[in-house]
Structure 1
Amino acid sequence: MTVVHPRDYYWGPVTSTLDWCEENYTHSPYIAEYVNTTTNLMFLSLFGIYNTLSNGFSKSFIVAHFGVIFVGFGSWLFHMTLKYEMQLLDELPMIYVACIMVWHSIEVRPKNQYGIALVLGLIGYSAFVTYSYLIINNPVFHQVSYAILVIIVVFRSIYLVRHLPGGAEQFPYEHPRMVVLLKIAASSFLLAFVIWNIDNVACPVLRHFRTFVPYAVGAVSQLHGWWHIGTSLGVYYYVVYTQWIHQLLDETNKQKYQLVWKGFVCYLKPVKQHKE
């Protein structure tokens, strides 16, 4: 493992309010936390944008995917520099993208039910959290604000899949797979959250462990990096789920979709309609 002398740190002293368990500047003077930087899976959202365009889904899903890319880019810069400004570029977009996901989980029909009132409410919440966080400067405030939005999304999504028009029996192919997809998305988030907290609590033990094991083994023990991977997958699966349920609740759309898995990546594929 390469050790970089503090005087050679390209980005200077740490100014962020958080400094994770990964040892700083072990590989390069240009990257403070190597594993935490490189585990942001932005390519999933790029594939999601491609699939959204291919299927002719609502362009609002492109906004959601671009939002996730923005969060990943901000996270990359934060862990690369450990600067407070880059920390804000990571944390505040998480609130904004979560608000987009709340909107997608509530406005699920072709004609919006709550209209501008919901949009203004979510913009107001984002503005309130942003202003308050800049003053309070406490990461716990940000985490609670983000958790509130995630809880709304989870409960709303469970409600939707349990109250499909005509009942679950009307969708013998879609319903069980949508339930599994939603469970996988939630499990990815939950497991990532647990691993993240283990990283916080057991940091001294993990750092000691990495002093006498090969680098490849030590890299696996960089648990905050697994938080990035788990949340990236969870958000991606959730967007696929939301796209699917939007199609089912659009009574004018008769197109059916098949859920296709390629390894850990899934996507919706239109089913060809055969003329009788």
Structure 2
Amino acid sequence: MAPVIAAGGSSAFDKIGYWSPNTASVDWCENNYVVSFYVAEFWNTFSNIACFIAAALGVLLFPGNERRFKFLFTTFVFVGLGSVFFHGTLRHKMQLLDELPMLYSATIIMFILVEAKYGPQGKWFPALLTAWIATTTFIFSTTGGQLQFYTFQSTYTFLQFAMIYLLRVLHVQQRAIHGPNADVSILIRRAFATAFFAVTIWLIDLRLCEFVNGVGARSILKWNPQLHAWWHVFSAAALYHATMLIEYYHYDVQGRRPYVGWWKGLVPVIRLANQHPKGMLAH
């Protein structure tokens, strides 16, 4: 088995379970098979409900019919399912079901943002992205251990920074045309805050596990706060808010006068001028 990146100081307290031994390239800070003999990381598995909620809200509150957004929301579902399989088993093949949909969703986001900024690119652009997806799928399916882990993380991080850059460019461009928008500013602040917090606790869970696992001699806590599970919650929130920004700019450059509505006074939703809000979900 390829070397596994294990959150330090925690693996000694793991138990043997139904899916043992672990073959994934990373083992997180949650102790394995503590809650259930059949679920390797119970809380990391359960917390993926946040991803399903984000996907459901995206589908139900989406104001348009474009296939690109339908595909995007579908990948959110597969990200959640893949993460359930991965954290529930800590098997390498299940890890791929977690990571590959993340790359697919990020690639679809790049497609939407590039065309929002530069206009339709023709058939060559989706063909290029399809080739990119095929290449990354092959690479991540045929590697393991630290090589697979760091290759995936660097690729996904690159896509995230590219998304942030394009969102920033679109924001400056459209603000110069329409002026400041308070609701859009709220979306930006929420997306940034939840993403920053999510990445912070993800890094703590991975790199400082021995100090926060609640069981090791060096732990400063008496209980494990399950930071990777909270990463799922806050990253899903960040993804949802970022997607609302993407929707907003997608329609704004088309001149369809989008605006930010608030479902139940809390959840942001993009609506279009002169369009009746969808069904029972309207606020």
**TM-score with structure 2 setting the length:** 0.81
**Aligned partner of 2:108 among 97, 100, 103:** 100
Unaligned runs of 5+ in 2: 1-12, 276-283
Distance change (3 Å), C-alpha of 1:205 and 1:129: same
CA distance in 2, matches of 1:135, 1:258: 43
What corresponds to 1:90 in structure 2?
Answer: 98
Pairwise CA distance, 1:81 = 0.8
Pairwise CA distance, 1:134 = 2.9
Counterpart mapping for 1:1-276 below 5 A: 6=16, 9-40=17-48, 41=50, 42-52=52-62, 55-108=63-116, 112-137=119-144, 138-164=148-174, 167-168=176-177, 170-172=178-180, 175-208=181-214, 218=223, 221-251=225-255, 253=256, 255-260=257-262, 262=264, 265-270=267-272
CA distance in 2, matches of 1:151, 1:37: 27
CA distance in 2, matches of 1:263, 1:77: 34
**TM-score with structure 1 setting the length:** 0.83
Distance change (3 Å), C-alpha of 1:179 and 1:14: same
Instruction: State the one-letter code of the partner of 2:167.
Output: S
CA distance in 2, matches of 1:12, 1:196: 24
Deviations 1:232-259 (A, max 9, x none): 11111111111111221113x3x55342
Contact 2:244-2:269 at 8 Å conserved across structures: yes
Greater CA drift, 227-236 or 9-18: 9-18
Distance change (3 Å), C-alpha of 1:180 and 1:23: same
Distance change (3 Å), C-alpha of 1:147 and 1:264: farther
Unaligned runs of 5+ in 1: none
Pairwise CA distance, 1:187 = 2.8
Contact 1:161-1:178 at 8 Å conserved across structures: no
Pairwise CA distance, 1:209 = 5.4
Q: Secondary structure at the match of 1:28?
A: coil
Deviations 1:45-66 (A, max 9, x none): 11210111xx234232121111
Distance change (3 Å), C-alpha of 1:272 and 1:180: same
Q: Secondary structure at the match of 2:20?
A: coil
CA distance in 2, matches of 1:176, 1:116: 37
Contact 2:82-2:94 at 8 Å conserved across structures: yes
Q: Secondary structure at the match of 1:198?
A: helix
CA distance in 1, matches of 2:188, 2:124: 27
Pairwise CA distance, 1:183 = 3.3
CA distance in 2, matches of 1:144, 1:5: 31
CA distance in 2, matches of 1:37, 1:263: 29
Pairwise CA distance, 1:4 = 9.4
RMSD, aligned CA = 2.7
Pairwise CA distance, 1:124 = 2.0
Instruction: State the one-letter code of the partner of 2:64.
Output: G
Pairwise CA distance, 1:12 = 3.1
